[in-house]
Structure 1
Amino acid sequence: MRAWLFGLVFLAGCLPVAVLRDPEPVRGVAFSVGGSLFPSLSPGSQYPVWALPYVALAQGDGRWEWNLSLQWSLRLGGKVALAEGFSLDGGLSLWPSGEGQRAFSADLGLLLGGGGWYLSPRGHLALDWDGNLGLAPQLSLGYRGEGWLLEVGYGPFSPYLAFGLRFQSVP
Protein backbone atom coordinates (compact mmCIF):
# COMPACT_ATOMS: atom_id res chain seq x y z
CA MET A 1 0.00 0.00 0.00
CA ARG A 2 2.84 2.41 0.85
CA ALA A 3 4.55 1.75 -2.50
CA TRP A 4 1.28 2.47 -4.33
CA LEU A 5 0.78 5.72 -2.40
CA PHE A 6 4.40 6.77 -3.00
CA GLY A 7 3.96 6.10 -6.73
CA LEU A 8 0.84 8.24 -6.87
CA VAL A 9 2.58 11.05 -5.00
CA PHE A 10 5.59 10.86 -7.33
CA LEU A 11 3.39 10.99 -10.43
CA ALA A 12 1.59 14.10 -9.19
CA GLY A 13 4.31 16.22 -10.73
CA CYS A 14 4.81 14.18 -13.90
CA LEU A 15 1.43 13.76 -15.57
CA PRO A 16 0.16 15.64 -18.61
CA VAL A 17 -2.60 18.14 -18.02
CA ALA A 18 -5.17 18.55 -20.79
CA VAL A 19 -6.27 22.09 -21.58
CA LEU A 20 -9.69 21.19 -23.06
CA ARG A 21 -10.65 24.88 -23.24
CA ASP A 22 -11.25 26.69 -26.51
CA PRO A 23 -10.41 30.41 -27.03
CA GLU A 24 -13.87 31.83 -26.38
CA PRO A 25 -14.80 32.29 -22.69
CA VAL A 26 -18.08 30.54 -21.88
CA ARG A 27 -21.32 32.46 -21.67
CA GLY A 28 -23.31 30.99 -18.82
CA VAL A 29 -22.25 27.79 -17.07
CA ALA A 30 -20.42 24.86 -18.67
CA PHE A 31 -19.60 21.43 -17.24
CA SER A 32 -17.06 19.14 -18.94
CA VAL A 33 -16.20 15.52 -18.32
CA GLY A 34 -13.62 13.43 -20.14
CA GLY A 35 -10.12 12.09 -19.85
CA SER A 36 -6.60 11.81 -21.22
CA LEU A 37 -4.56 8.93 -22.58
CA PHE A 38 -0.77 9.08 -22.38
CA PRO A 39 2.18 6.68 -22.58
CA SER A 40 3.22 4.95 -19.39
CA LEU A 41 5.75 6.96 -17.42
CA SER A 42 6.97 3.83 -15.67
CA PRO A 43 9.59 1.76 -17.57
CA GLY A 44 8.53 -1.85 -17.83
CA SER A 45 4.91 -1.19 -16.87
CA GLN A 46 2.46 -3.86 -17.94
CA TYR A 47 0.16 -1.03 -19.10
CA PRO A 48 1.76 0.87 -22.02
CA VAL A 49 -1.01 3.51 -22.03
CA TRP A 50 -2.47 5.17 -18.95
CA ALA A 51 -5.78 7.01 -18.61
CA LEU A 52 -6.60 9.93 -16.36
CA PRO A 53 -10.15 11.32 -15.89
CA TYR A 54 -10.99 15.02 -16.27
CA VAL A 55 -13.88 17.11 -14.88
CA ALA A 56 -14.31 20.87 -15.12
CA LEU A 57 -16.77 23.63 -14.33
CA ALA A 58 -16.66 27.07 -15.95
CA GLN A 59 -18.80 30.17 -15.65
CA GLY A 60 -18.52 33.38 -17.62
CA ASP A 61 -20.11 36.23 -19.48
CA GLY A 62 -18.48 35.62 -22.89
CA ARG A 63 -15.63 38.05 -22.18
CA TRP A 64 -14.31 36.70 -18.86
CA GLU A 65 -14.50 33.19 -17.42
CA TRP A 66 -13.45 31.46 -14.21
CA ASN A 67 -12.93 27.71 -14.27
CA LEU A 68 -12.31 24.90 -11.82
CA SER A 69 -10.95 21.58 -13.05
CA LEU A 70 -9.69 18.32 -11.64
CA GLN A 71 -7.23 16.14 -13.54
CA TRP A 72 -4.95 14.74 -10.90
CA SER A 73 -4.47 18.26 -9.55
CA LEU A 74 -7.17 20.69 -8.51
CA ARG A 75 -6.89 23.82 -10.71
CA LEU A 76 -8.60 27.18 -10.29
CA GLY A 77 -8.20 29.41 -13.31
CA GLY A 78 -9.47 32.30 -15.33
CA LYS A 79 -9.68 33.24 -18.97
CA VAL A 80 -10.11 36.65 -20.57
CA ALA A 81 -10.87 37.31 -24.24
CA LEU A 82 -8.34 39.68 -25.78
CA ALA A 83 -9.89 39.59 -29.28
CA GLU A 84 -12.13 37.24 -31.23
CA GLY A 85 -10.45 33.82 -31.20
CA PHE A 86 -7.65 35.02 -28.91
CA SER A 87 -7.65 34.63 -25.10
CA LEU A 88 -5.27 34.63 -22.17
CA ASP A 89 -5.76 31.69 -19.80
CA GLY A 90 -4.06 30.96 -16.51
CA GLY A 91 -4.49 29.08 -13.30
CA LEU A 92 -3.12 27.82 -10.01
CA SER A 93 -2.99 24.11 -9.22
CA LEU A 94 -2.70 22.28 -5.92
CA TRP A 95 -1.03 18.89 -6.34
CA PRO A 96 -1.67 15.94 -4.01
CA SER A 97 1.93 15.50 -2.96
CA GLY A 98 4.27 14.88 -0.11
CA GLU A 99 7.35 16.66 1.07
CA GLY A 100 9.90 17.17 -1.71
CA GLN A 101 7.28 16.78 -4.45
CA ARG A 102 5.54 19.51 -6.38
CA ALA A 103 3.03 21.19 -4.16
CA PHE A 104 1.77 24.10 -6.23
CA SER A 105 1.99 25.10 -9.86
CA ALA A 106 0.90 28.06 -11.94
CA ASP A 107 0.25 27.98 -15.66
CA LEU A 108 -0.21 30.78 -18.16
CA GLY A 109 -1.04 30.33 -21.81
CA LEU A 110 -2.61 31.73 -24.91
CA LEU A 111 -5.62 30.21 -26.63
CA LEU A 112 -5.75 30.98 -30.35
CA GLY A 113 -8.29 29.65 -32.76
CA GLY A 114 -11.22 29.81 -35.09
CA GLY A 115 -13.61 27.54 -36.91
CA GLY A 116 -13.61 25.08 -34.01
CA TRP A 117 -9.81 24.64 -33.98
CA TYR A 118 -7.58 25.98 -31.22
CA LEU A 119 -3.89 26.09 -30.39
CA SER A 120 -2.60 26.65 -26.87
CA PRO A 121 1.06 27.30 -26.06
CA ARG A 122 1.60 27.64 -22.30
CA GLY A 123 4.14 27.37 -19.54
CA HIS A 124 3.92 25.72 -16.11
CA LEU A 125 5.87 26.98 -13.12
CA ALA A 126 5.98 24.54 -10.19
CA LEU A 127 7.06 25.06 -6.60
CA ASP A 128 7.81 22.19 -4.22
CA TRP A 129 7.75 22.18 -0.42
CA ASP A 130 11.49 22.92 -0.29
CA GLY A 131 11.11 26.11 -2.34
CA ASN A 132 12.59 24.67 -5.55
CA LEU A 133 11.14 25.98 -8.82
CA GLY A 134 10.64 24.09 -12.07
CA LEU A 135 9.45 25.28 -15.49
CA ALA A 136 7.84 23.12 -18.19
CA PRO A 137 6.34 24.09 -21.57
CA GLN A 138 3.16 22.68 -23.08
CA LEU A 139 1.65 22.86 -26.57
CA SER A 140 -1.89 21.70 -27.34
CA LEU A 141 -3.92 21.50 -30.54
CA GLY A 142 -7.63 20.88 -30.24
CA TYR A 143 -10.99 20.89 -31.96
CA ARG A 144 -14.32 21.82 -30.42
CA GLY A 145 -17.39 20.23 -31.95
CA GLU A 146 -21.00 20.59 -30.86
CA GLY A 147 -20.80 19.51 -27.21
CA TRP A 148 -17.36 17.85 -27.35
CA LEU A 149 -13.63 18.63 -27.47
CA LEU A 150 -10.71 16.58 -28.81
CA GLU A 151 -7.12 17.55 -28.09
CA VAL A 152 -3.58 16.34 -28.72
CA GLY A 153 -0.60 17.86 -27.01
CA TYR A 154 2.81 17.58 -25.54
CA GLY A 155 3.66 18.66 -22.07
CA PRO A 156 4.45 19.33 -19.48
CA PHE A 157 6.33 15.99 -19.67
CA SER A 158 4.61 13.65 -22.10
CA PRO A 159 2.44 13.53 -25.24
CA TYR A 160 -1.27 13.01 -24.62
CA LEU A 161 -4.65 12.62 -26.30
CA ALA A 162 -7.68 14.07 -24.49
CA PHE A 163 -11.42 14.00 -25.09
CA GLY A 164 -14.19 15.81 -23.26
CA LEU A 165 -17.95 16.21 -23.39
CA ARG A 166 -19.23 19.71 -22.62
CA PHE A 167 -22.68 20.50 -21.26
CA GLN A 168 -23.56 24.18 -21.24
CA SER A 169 -26.44 26.38 -20.15
CA VAL A 170 -26.61 29.82 -21.76
CA PRO A 171 -28.49 32.65 -20.04
Structure 2
Amino acid sequence: MLFVPNASGPAILPYGAVAFGNGQVEVNVSTQFGLRTGLKAALETGASLDFGLSFPLLPTGLGFPLAIDAGFIWGMDGFYIAPRLVWLGFQSNTSLFPSGSGFGYQAHLGYQGDLFIGELGLMGNFTNGELLFIIAGGVRF
Protein backbone atom coordinates (compact mmCIF):
# COMPACT_ATOMS: atom_id res chain seq x y z
CA MET A 1 0.00 0.00 0.00
CA LEU A 2 1.06 3.52 -0.66
CA PHE A 3 -0.30 6.20 1.66
CA VAL A 4 -0.54 9.59 -0.05
CA PRO A 5 -0.95 12.70 2.16
CA ASN A 6 -3.91 14.95 1.28
CA ALA A 7 -5.41 12.21 -0.89
CA SER A 8 -8.64 10.30 -0.50
CA GLY A 9 -6.83 7.35 1.08
CA PRO A 10 -4.21 4.70 0.44
CA ALA A 11 -3.46 3.43 -3.04
CA ILE A 12 -2.73 -0.22 -3.73
CA LEU A 13 -0.18 -0.74 -6.49
CA PRO A 14 0.56 -4.30 -7.69
CA TYR A 15 4.27 -5.14 -8.05
CA GLY A 16 6.15 -7.79 -9.97
CA ALA A 17 9.87 -8.43 -10.33
CA VAL A 18 12.38 -10.91 -11.67
CA ALA A 19 16.13 -11.01 -10.99
CA PHE A 20 19.08 -13.00 -12.32
CA GLY A 21 22.54 -13.10 -10.81
CA ASN A 22 25.48 -15.02 -9.42
CA GLY A 23 25.62 -13.64 -5.87
CA GLN A 24 28.05 -10.86 -6.81
CA VAL A 25 26.13 -9.12 -9.61
CA GLU A 26 22.36 -9.13 -10.16
CA VAL A 27 20.27 -7.76 -13.02
CA ASN A 28 16.62 -7.11 -12.23
CA VAL A 29 13.47 -5.93 -13.96
CA SER A 30 10.38 -4.83 -12.08
CA THR A 31 7.07 -3.16 -12.72
CA GLN A 32 4.84 -1.22 -10.38
CA PHE A 33 4.20 2.32 -11.51
CA GLY A 34 6.09 1.81 -14.75
CA LEU A 35 9.08 -0.28 -15.77
CA ARG A 36 12.39 -0.34 -13.83
CA THR A 37 15.62 -2.06 -14.75
CA GLY A 38 18.37 -2.37 -12.19
CA LEU A 39 21.86 -3.58 -11.44
CA LYS A 40 22.98 -4.70 -7.98
CA ALA A 41 26.64 -5.24 -7.09
CA ALA A 42 27.78 -6.91 -3.86
CA LEU A 43 30.44 -5.06 -1.88
CA GLU A 44 30.80 -7.69 0.84
CA THR A 45 28.51 -10.13 2.65
CA GLY A 46 25.27 -8.31 3.47
CA ALA A 47 26.15 -5.05 1.68
CA SER A 48 25.54 -4.01 -1.91
CA LEU A 49 25.05 -1.04 -4.21
CA ASP A 50 21.90 -0.85 -6.32
CA PHE A 51 21.36 1.31 -9.42
CA GLY A 52 18.20 1.68 -11.46
CA LEU A 53 16.59 3.32 -14.46
CA SER A 54 12.79 3.73 -14.43
CA PHE A 55 10.16 4.83 -16.91
CA PRO A 56 7.14 5.78 -14.75
CA LEU A 57 3.69 5.41 -16.30
CA LEU A 58 1.78 8.48 -17.45
CA PRO A 59 -1.34 8.85 -19.56
CA THR A 60 -0.50 8.86 -23.27
CA GLY A 61 0.55 12.21 -24.67
CA LEU A 62 1.33 13.98 -21.39
CA GLY A 63 5.09 13.69 -21.68
CA PHE A 64 8.11 11.52 -21.02
CA PRO A 65 9.28 10.86 -17.44
CA LEU A 66 12.60 9.29 -16.49
CA ALA A 67 13.93 8.32 -13.05
CA ILE A 68 17.48 7.33 -12.14
CA ASP A 69 18.24 5.96 -8.68
CA ALA A 70 21.22 4.81 -6.65
CA GLY A 71 21.11 3.15 -3.26
CA PHE A 72 22.89 1.09 -0.66
CA ILE A 73 21.45 -2.10 0.82
CA TRP A 74 22.72 -3.44 4.13
CA GLY A 75 21.25 -6.59 5.63
CA MET A 76 21.70 -9.24 8.28
CA ASP A 77 19.63 -12.30 9.30
CA GLY A 78 16.83 -11.46 6.84
CA PHE A 79 16.45 -7.82 7.93
CA TYR A 80 17.69 -5.00 5.72
CA ILE A 81 17.83 -1.22 5.45
CA ALA A 82 17.98 0.51 2.08
CA PRO A 83 18.47 4.27 1.67
CA ARG A 84 18.28 5.57 -1.91
CA LEU A 85 18.70 8.84 -3.83
CA VAL A 86 16.41 9.40 -6.85
CA TRP A 87 16.51 11.90 -9.72
CA LEU A 88 13.26 12.39 -11.64
CA GLY A 89 13.06 14.32 -14.87
CA PHE A 90 9.97 15.05 -16.90
CA GLN A 91 9.65 16.48 -20.41
CA SER A 92 6.04 17.61 -20.82
CA ASN A 93 3.84 18.01 -23.87
CA THR A 94 1.16 19.95 -21.97
CA SER A 95 0.81 22.78 -19.46
CA LEU A 96 -1.11 20.40 -17.16
CA PHE A 97 2.22 18.90 -16.02
CA PRO A 98 5.09 21.38 -16.50
CA SER A 99 8.52 20.06 -17.46
CA GLY A 100 11.04 19.83 -14.65
CA SER A 101 13.42 17.71 -12.65
CA GLY A 102 14.56 17.23 -9.09
CA PHE A 103 16.04 14.96 -6.48
CA GLY A 104 14.19 12.84 -3.97
CA TYR A 105 15.04 10.21 -1.39
CA GLN A 106 13.76 6.88 -0.13
CA ALA A 107 14.50 4.86 2.99
CA HIS A 108 13.21 1.33 3.52
CA LEU A 109 13.38 -1.13 6.40
CA GLY A 110 12.37 -4.67 5.58
CA TYR A 111 12.45 -8.37 6.26
CA GLN A 112 13.03 -11.02 3.59
CA GLY A 113 12.09 -14.57 4.46
CA ASP A 114 12.20 -17.68 2.28
CA LEU A 115 8.57 -17.30 1.16
CA PHE A 116 7.68 -13.65 1.79
CA ILE A 117 9.00 -10.12 2.07
CA GLY A 118 7.68 -7.20 4.12
CA GLU A 119 8.79 -3.58 4.05
CA LEU A 120 8.14 -0.16 5.59
CA GLY A 121 9.43 2.91 3.83
CA LEU A 122 9.41 6.64 3.35
CA MET A 123 9.73 8.55 0.09
CA GLY A 124 10.20 12.31 -0.10
CA ASN A 125 11.69 15.17 -2.04
CA PHE A 126 14.02 18.05 -1.28
CA THR A 127 11.78 20.71 -2.87
CA ASN A 128 8.58 20.94 -0.83
CA GLY A 129 9.01 18.34 1.90
CA GLU A 130 6.07 16.13 0.93
CA LEU A 131 6.42 12.62 2.28
CA LEU A 132 4.88 9.27 1.32
CA PHE A 133 4.63 6.38 3.78
CA ILE A 134 4.94 2.93 2.20
CA ILE A 135 3.84 -0.47 3.50
CA ALA A 136 4.73 -3.30 1.15
CA GLY A 137 4.54 -7.06 1.26
CA GLY A 138 4.76 -9.95 -1.11
CA VAL A 139 5.15 -13.64 -1.73
CA ARG A 140 8.41 -14.96 -3.18
CA PHE A 141 8.47 -17.65 -5.84
TM-score (norm 1): 0.69
Q: Which residue in the other structure is 1:18 paired with?
A: none
Aligned position for 1:9: none
1:50 offset after TM fit, Å?
1.6
**Residue 148 in structure 1 maps to residue 116 in structure 2:** yes
Map residues 1-171 of structure 1 onto 2, 5 A cutoff: 37-41=1-5, 43=7, 45=8, 48-97=9-58, 98-99=62-63, 103-129=65-91, 132-156=100-124, 157-167=131-141
Which whole-Å CA distance do the structure 2 matches of 1:86 and 1:147 have between them?
21
Q: In the comparison of the two structures, how many residue pairs are matched?
A: 126
Is residue 26–residue 39 contact of structure 2 (8 Å, CA) maintained in 1? yes
Q: What is the distance in 2 between the residues matched to 1:132 and 1:49?
A: 26
Q: Which has the higher helix share?
A: 1
- 1:41 Cα deviation (Å)? 4.7
Runs ≥4 residues deviating over 6 A: none
Hey, what's the Cα distance between the residues in 2 that align with 1:50 and 1:158? 11
SS in 1 for 2:11: strand
Counterparts of 1:41 and 1:57 in 2: how far apart (Å)?
A: 30
Three-state SS of the structure 1 residue aligned to 2:12 is strand
1:40 and 1:111 mapped to 2: Cα distance? 25
Residues 74-108 of structure 1 show CA distances to partners (whole Å, capped at 9, x for unaligned) of 00001000000000001000122223xx6000010
TM-score, normalised by the number of residues in structure 2? 0.83
Conserved? CA contact 2:26–2:40, under 8 Å: yes
Task: Name the counterpart of 1:21.
Answer: none
Q: Find the aligned partners of 2:90 and 2:78 in 1 and give their Cα distance.
A: 37
Partner Cα separation in structure 2 for residue 111 and residue 68 of structure 1: 17
